[in-house]
Chain A
Amino acid sequence: MTSTDDGFQPPPTQPQAWPPPVPPQAWPPPGQQQPAPPPAPQQAWPPPGQQQPAPPPVQQPGQQQAPPPGVSVVRTDAESKDGLTKCGRCGATEISLNIETGNLRCGFCRFEMQSPNALQTYGLDGDVSMLTGIVVGSGSDNIVPSTDLVLTFKCSACGADVVIDSANSTQARCHWCRNTLSMNEQIPNGAVPDMILPFKLPKDVAVAKIKEFVGKRMAFAHPTFKAEFNAENVMGVYLPYMVFDANAHVALAGQGEHQTRSYTVKRGDDDVRLYDADVYDVRRDFSLYIDDLTVESSSERRDQNVMRNSNNIINAIMPFDVENSVCYDSNYLTGFTSERRDTNLDDLTGVAAAQSKDIARYRANEMVTFYDRGVRWDDEQLHLVGQRWVSAYLPVWLYSYYETKSSGKSFVHYVAVNGRTGETMGSVPINQRKLLLVAAGVELLGIIAFLLFFFLVGG
């Protein structure tokens, strides 16, 4: 999802609206920007009364569906308004993220606005052990396929109709008065999540990390990649995830072995190590509280078949500090791109349950340390007493390289940097011919060494 205004054309349906009425309030016209005053103290955002109520979209978005029985929906866009989101000091709509502070900053007067913590604001940070039923943020609602992705909003500054293609952006610039219109209200198309975790790692640091990562892998890198590699092409992307909390009851049953003796016996010329062990039937029942399990909610990113793509690279840079996410505001996307959620909770429940079982196994290992030879769990039951789902945009610096192989097939390699922690992982295209040649040389040396070993020791 891009936040640029490239490609926007005046709407052909409104010729009579030209010239649109000029907004009465003062707006810094182009070329008359005043020098930026010193940074202002932070204030809670949005300041009371500063958000201008936007008229309803000309094209009505899809209607909110009633939640299924047993599901309670927490509205996370009740305070959000579509349209112009103005600077609390000067009224400009040119607002973007200041990575250094994590706040939104006015591009004209440098006034900084701090968004509140999303989980605290919406009460989605309650004790997991008290969780019952299914709680979902309204931004995690099922996607209605018929929902329009292209929405038309009326600019409240000049009255022109402005089109936002929510498949690619939640912002657009009014082509008449140059104000930025934001889409912050949720419609069931997955474009507006419950919360967003702003970038914390500056681009220059991400570029340095990518250069360092790739620089260590140049010896067998594909020559075309080496010639074309430019870490400056990294893009800041907000990727869609679902954050899952669970209050679960776990019942595990199986067998475990405890080593009682270890000794060596002679078999022919060799010494052989043997073991004695006691076998037990093992059972563990416990409550498991999972906090902020994060799963991909884009169908493209969920496909992690490493033969087809390198999405596992993006998966490997987790975890994120999702507890620091803030209430969603489209202005955080300014200057970055984003990807829309296109997966519903029903499709993610299986993954979340399987990963919850893994967490149960991991935690159960702390309870079966007596069984030093291992435990074979034959029956694993995980009952979800309560679960909570919150949709989020999480920040990733992404360098992508499109490799076209000699067979004509293509493959996209990613080098990804966690936009919060700086964790870096990547896939670098290999010069197969060079690697195979060197591996053949190593194999030849290995065979010579084996033969020497055979003659000196074995023979």
Chain B
Amino acid sequence: MFNYTEAVGFLVQASSSDSSGANKIAFLFLFAGFVFYGIMFLRYRNVNKRHHHESDTKSRTANIQAGDTFVHSRTGVTDSNMPGANNKQFNGKLWGLF
């Protein structure tokens, strides 16, 4: 017999960031149609494509000076990346969805 509450609980667990790999696959199944539409839309319309000026433009650096100071340690964090890290975000694109 299908238990609605259990299914929703399973869904919530599957969508959480610390869920196991198998649960994530199940979550992907549930949104397969939306994922398919998104992939096809991007493949045809390429709205996410732009010139990667940050890496494609010739540039070089010199006179590098560094000054790093230890602040504190963090333990037991669940995120594999630093919260708020922006060193891989680039803002100079003229416009775009991504």
Contact = CB atoms under 8 A, between A and B. Distances in A.
A362 B54 contact: yes
B16 to A, nearest CB: 9
B26 to A, nearest CB: 4
A122 interface: no
A112 B10 CA distance: 74
Contacts of B37: 435-436, 439
Contacts of B88: 361, 365, 374
A255 B25 CA distance: 35
Contacts of A36: none
A280 interface: yes
Given A129-B62, A287-B63, A312-B96, A368 B30 contact: no
Contact of A304 (B7, B40, B96): B96
Contact of B49 (A316, A351, A357): A316
Given A284-B65, A313-B46, A275 B91 contact: no
Contacts, number: 267
Q: What's the dominant secondary structure at chain A's contact region?
A: mixed
A446 B84 contact: no
A281 B69 CA distance: 5
A306 interface: yes
Nearest to A315: B51
Interface in B26-48: 26, 28-34, 36-37, 40-41, 43-47
Contact of A435 (B40, B58, B64, B77): B40
Given A318-B56, A453-B22, 20 more contacts: A220-B44, A256-B68, A280-B70, A283-B68, A286-B63, A291-B59, A302-B94, A303-B95, A306-B95, A315-B51, A319-B56, A354-B92, A358-B91, A362-B54, A363-B61, A440-B33, A447-B30, A450-B30, A454-B6, A454-B10
Interface of B: 2-3, 6-7, 10, 14, 18-20, 22-23, 25-26, 28-34, 36-37, 40-41, 43-47, 49-51, 53-82, 84-97
Interface of A: 129, 217, 220-221, 255-257, 260, 267, 270-294, 296, 302-306, 310, 312-313, 315-319, 351, 354-359, 361-368, 371, 373-377, 425-430, 435-436, 438-447, 449-451, 453-454, 457-459
